[in-house]
């Protein structure tokens, strides 16, 4: 086996060079250091722990929350010729015992396991008997109560450092704001770990958000306008809506399947298996579906209801376009969604601190929905990353109607500053409207110069102003201080009257922006590309793996475009490593010869 990180990448995975911070992460972990990695979906997180596991003595133990993810990852690794296995409830006792024996004997390089199993006395004892190269904690945001997908079983993973202090650890997630990052570091005892934060930008995804009018009609128009035959995910806010939408789409001629936690486990597993292995399937689901889904050719993610937070929205939309080809994130929303979300927060049994944070996160999401500027800029601002307008989202392609909010912005920012940047939106609005509430009186805010200066707008309009100020990066929310609104450096020119601010007109959302973009993976020679896809489908059936485990569409597109005439030429295509060249090279050349 090759002995350097780059030679492994080239020979096994078939790629000429690392992307972004991958090489730095691999160097850190392979050298025995801990790492915390924030990298967008499709950014190549798995390589960051798989290659160090191959370079180090022993077996890399990967903590993964989903059976389907484990199975797909192991299938892909075995296709590369890497000794990998998983331990989960899908194995019978004999098969599980064999995996344990192989692990103990040092015959595996990667072992995937669920957090619940890893923390059992039996498995902890097994770890003592084997040589562990590293611990990789995937979907690490699950450890944070502020994250969008908190899972209590992740809390016990701090034991890994206590029991095995010499074994390096790497925690990975595709999304986490500053508060969630810090909690991950604390709860996993990764305070000394090197932090790697890649860009959150997914330039191949077009973001489109529209006001909900007739959800089914709008969804049908979206699918027919560029996504016929595409694989995609449609998220709904309730189980009932999932089943009704899946049934309706099936009646309209689409291969749509439902997925939610209330379905029988065998039905859920069967539907997920079909989505992963078949082409052109639409999964209609609650947020119970999707974490760790590696399917690269998902061409769209649609939300028929408002998500819970920007983190959730980013994680869910990130499941589109993992192959780097054009994809769409399309969402409908209405004020009824907002009312429902606020009711869920109010009726939650969680503490007041959690409710304040949840409300602030919802307001930030509404700011993204209502922003008059580039969606991508607003999204990246939330994660602390600057960006230029993308020219590809709905607000860039068809700018919405605006009003000059410079004076309103100055008043709002002044009220936040004069009240000490210690209060949430509700109190700031009370001061602007001149409401002498008990809280206003307690803090003697009636005496401030900003008291009552905003009576020209009502409470609803002021909330929209504050949300859009957040979306434009002029305000931040301190989640640790009762959801307090705070000024950012960008707000100073606005306060001084040196910069103008414009807001989206209420109720005037952008129209659907142009046609959806199809993947251009096979446009160089579409008949040859389709012939290669047909061959891949047959090969996947023979090997009993999803089609994308054989090759991604992007690799097939390059083969169709370049038409290699020999194994040496085929080896130069990104995504074709040594093992896959040996296994599939001759068959691919036969397909190309027949196509010629």
Q: How high is the pLDDT of residue 166?
A: 93
Token digits for 114?
């669920």
* Cα 309 versus chain centre, distance: 12
CA separation for the pair 535, 520 (Å, rounded):
19
Picking from 10-19, 477-486, 494-503, which range would have the lowest pLDDT averaged per residue? 477-486
Q: How high is the pLDDT of residue 205?
A: 95
pTM: 0.73
Picking from 160-174, 254-268, 288-302, 316-330, which range would have the lowest pLDDT averaged per residue? 288-302
Give the residue-averaged pLDDT of 236-241: 94
Q: How high is the pLDDT of residue 174?
A: 81
Token digits for 526?
């579409």
Q: Is-same-fold flag (205-352+388-397; 402-504)?
A: no
Please give the DSSP secondary-structure letter assigned to residue 382: H
Picking from 168-182, 297-311, 383-397, which range would have the lowest pLDDT averaged per residue? 168-182
Task: State the CB neighbour count (10 A cutoff) for residue 274.
Answer: 13
Q: How high is the pLDDT of residue 292?
A: 63
Give the residue-averaged pLDDT of 423-433: 93
Q: Which residue has the tokens 């998983």?
A: 86
Tell me the CA distances in angstroms from 357 to 350, 354, 361, 428, 430, one per residue in order: 11, 5, 6, 17, 20
Q: How high is the pLDDT of residue 27?
A: 96
Give the residue-averaged pLDDT of 456-461: 91
CATH no., domain 402-504: 1.10.10.10
Give the residue-averaged pLDDT of 89-110: 93
Picking from 97-101, 471-475, 491-495, which range would have the lowest pLDDT averaged per residue? 471-475
- pLDDT digits 0-9 by tens, 531-547: 998 999 899 889 888 88
Ordered DSSP codes for 120-162:
SHHHHHHHHHS-EEEEEESSGGGG-TTSTT--GGGGGGGHHHH
Give the residue-averaged pLDDT of 167-179: 85
Tell me the CA distances in angstroms from 44 to 51, 75, 508, one per residue in order: 11, 17, 39
Q: How high is the pLDDT of residue 514?
A: 44
- Say what percent of the chain tops pLDDT 70: 94
- pLDDT digits 0-9 by tens, 134-165: 999 998 888 876 655 677 788 888 888 889 99
Q: How high is the pLDDT of residue 152?
A: 79
Q: How high is the pLDDT of residue 356?
A: 81
* Mean per-residue pLDDT of the chain: 88
Picking from 8-22, 116-130, 344-358, which range would have the lowest pLDDT averaged per residue? 344-358
Q: How high is the pLDDT of residue 477?
A: 74
Superfamily of domain 5-197: P-loop containing nucleotide triphosphate hydrolases (3.40.50.300)
- pLDDT digits 0-9 by tens, 256-267: 999 998 999 889
Q: How high is the pLDDT of residue 480?
A: 53
- pLDDT digits 0-9 by tens, 377-404: 999 988 888 889 999 999 999 888 888 9
140 close to 184: Cβ distance less than 8 angstroms: yes
Token digits for 227?
């996504």
- pLDDT digits 0-9 by tens, 407-422: 999 999 999 999 999 9
Q: Which residue has the tokens 């059976």?
A: 67
51 close to 26: Cβ distance less than 8 angstroms: yes
CA separation for the pair 91, 71 (Å, rounded):
11
Domain ranges of the chain: 5-197, 205-352+388-397, 402-504, 523-595
Q: How high is the pLDDT of residue 399?
A: 87
Tell me the CA distances in angstroms from 517 to 321, 378, 392, one per residue in order: 11, 22, 10
- pLDDT digits 0-9 by tens, 28-62: 999 999 999 998 877 788 999 999 999 999 999 99
Q: Which CATH architecture has domain 205-352+388-397?
A: 3-Layer(aba) Sandwich (3.40)
The CA dihedral of 512, 518, 519, 524, to the nearest 10 degrees, is: -140
Among residues 29, 39, 92, 97, the alpha carbon closest in space to that of 61 is found at 29
CATH value of 523-595 in 1.10.150.80, 3.40.50.300, 3.40.50.12780, 3.40.640.10: 1.10.150.80
Look at residue 512 and tell me whether its pLDDT is greater than 50.
no
Picking from 184-193, 317-326, 353-362, 582-591, which range would have the lowest pLDDT averaged per residue? 353-362
- Say what percent of the chain tops pLDDT 90: 53
Look at residue 8 and tell me whether its pLDDT is greater than 90.
yes
Q: Which residue did the predictor score with more confidence, 210 or 353?
A: 210
Among residues 65, 305, 328, 312, the alpha carbon closest in space to that of 177 is found at 312
Look at residue 73 and tell me whether its pLDDT is greater than 90.
no
Q: How high is the pLDDT of residue 353?
A: 78
- pLDDT digits 0-9 by tens, 121-138: 999 999 999 999 999 999
Q: How high is the pLDDT of residue 147?
A: 58
Give the residue-averaged pLDDT of 64-89: 88
Give the residue-averaged pLDDT of 89-111: 93
CA separation for the pair 334, 585 (Å, rounded):
52
């Amino acid at each position: 086996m090759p002995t350097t990180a780059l030679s492994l990448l080239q020979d096994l995975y078939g790629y000429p060079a690392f992307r972004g911070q991958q090489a730095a992460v691999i160097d850190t972990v392979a050298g025995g250091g801990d790492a915390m990695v924030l990298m967008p979906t499709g950014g190549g997180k798995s390589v960051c722990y798989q290659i160090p596991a191959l370079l180090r003595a022993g077996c890399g133990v990967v903590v993964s929350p989903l059976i389907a993810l484990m199975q797909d990852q192991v299938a892909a690794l075995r296709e590369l010729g890497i000794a990998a296995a998983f331990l989960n409830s899908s194995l019978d006792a004999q098969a599980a015992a064999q995996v344990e024996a192989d692990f103990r004997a040092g015959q595996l390089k990667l072992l995937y396991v669920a957090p619940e199993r890893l923390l059992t006395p039996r498995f902890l004892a097994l770890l003592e008997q084997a040589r562990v190269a590293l611990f990789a904690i995937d979907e690490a945001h699950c450890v944070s109560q502020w994250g969008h997908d908190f899972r209590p079983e992740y809390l016990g993973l701090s034991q890994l450092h206590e029991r095995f202090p010499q074994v390096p650890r790497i925690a990975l997630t595709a999304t986490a704001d500053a508060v969630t990052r810090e909690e991950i570091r604390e709860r996993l005892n990764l305070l000394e770990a090197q932090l790697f934060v890649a860009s959150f930008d997914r330039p191949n995804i077009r973001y489109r958000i529209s006001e909900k009018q007739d959800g089914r009609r709008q969804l049908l128009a979206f699918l027919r306008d560029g996504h016929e035959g595409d694989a995609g995910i449609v998220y709904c806010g309730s189980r009932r809506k999932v089943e009704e939408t899946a049934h309706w789409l099936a009646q309209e001629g689409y291969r749509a399947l439902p997925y939610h936690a209330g379905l029988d486990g065998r039905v859920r597993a069967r539907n997920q298996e079909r989505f992963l292995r078949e082409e052109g399937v639409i999964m209609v689901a609650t947020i119970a579906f999707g974490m760790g889904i590696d399917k690269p050719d998902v061409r769209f993610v649609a939300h028929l209801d408002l998500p819970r937070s920007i983190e959730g929205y980013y994680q869910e939309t990130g499941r589109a376009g993992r192959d780097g080809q054009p994809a769409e994130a399309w969402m409908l929303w209405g004020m009824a969604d907002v009312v429902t979300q606020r009711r869920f927060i109010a009726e939650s049994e969680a503490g007041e601190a959690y409710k304040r944070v949840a409300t602030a996160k919802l307001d930030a999401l509404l700011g993204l929905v209502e922003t008059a500027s580039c969606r991508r800029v607003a999204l990246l601002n939330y994660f602390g990353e600057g960006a230029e307008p993308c020219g590809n989202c709905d607000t860039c392609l068809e700018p919405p109607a605006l009003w000059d909010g410079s004076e309103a912005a100055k008043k709002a920012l002044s009220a936040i500053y004069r009240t000490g940047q210690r209060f949430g939106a509700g109190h700031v609005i009370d001061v602007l409207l001149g409401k002498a509430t008990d809280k206003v009186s307690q803090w003697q805010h009636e005496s401030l110069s900003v008291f009552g200066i905003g009576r020209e707008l009502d409470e609803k309009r002021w909330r929209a102003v504050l949300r859009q100020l957040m979306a434009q990066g002029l305000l931040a929310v301190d989640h640790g201080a009762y959801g307090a609104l705070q000024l950012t450096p960008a707000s100073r020119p606005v306060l001084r009257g040196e910069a103008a601010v414009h807001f989206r007109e209420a109720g005037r959302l952008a129209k659907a922006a142009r046609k959806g973009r199809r993947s251009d993976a096979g446009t160089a020679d579409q008949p040859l590309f389709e012939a290669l896809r047909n061959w891949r489908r047959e090969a996947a059936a023979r090997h009993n793996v999803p089609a994308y485990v054989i090759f991604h569409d992007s690799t097939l597109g390059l083969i169709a475009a370049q038409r290699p005439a020999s194994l040496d030429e085929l080896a130069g295509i990104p995504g074709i490593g040594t093992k896959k060249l040996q296994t599939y090279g001759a068959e691919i050349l036969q397909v190309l010869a027949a196509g010629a």
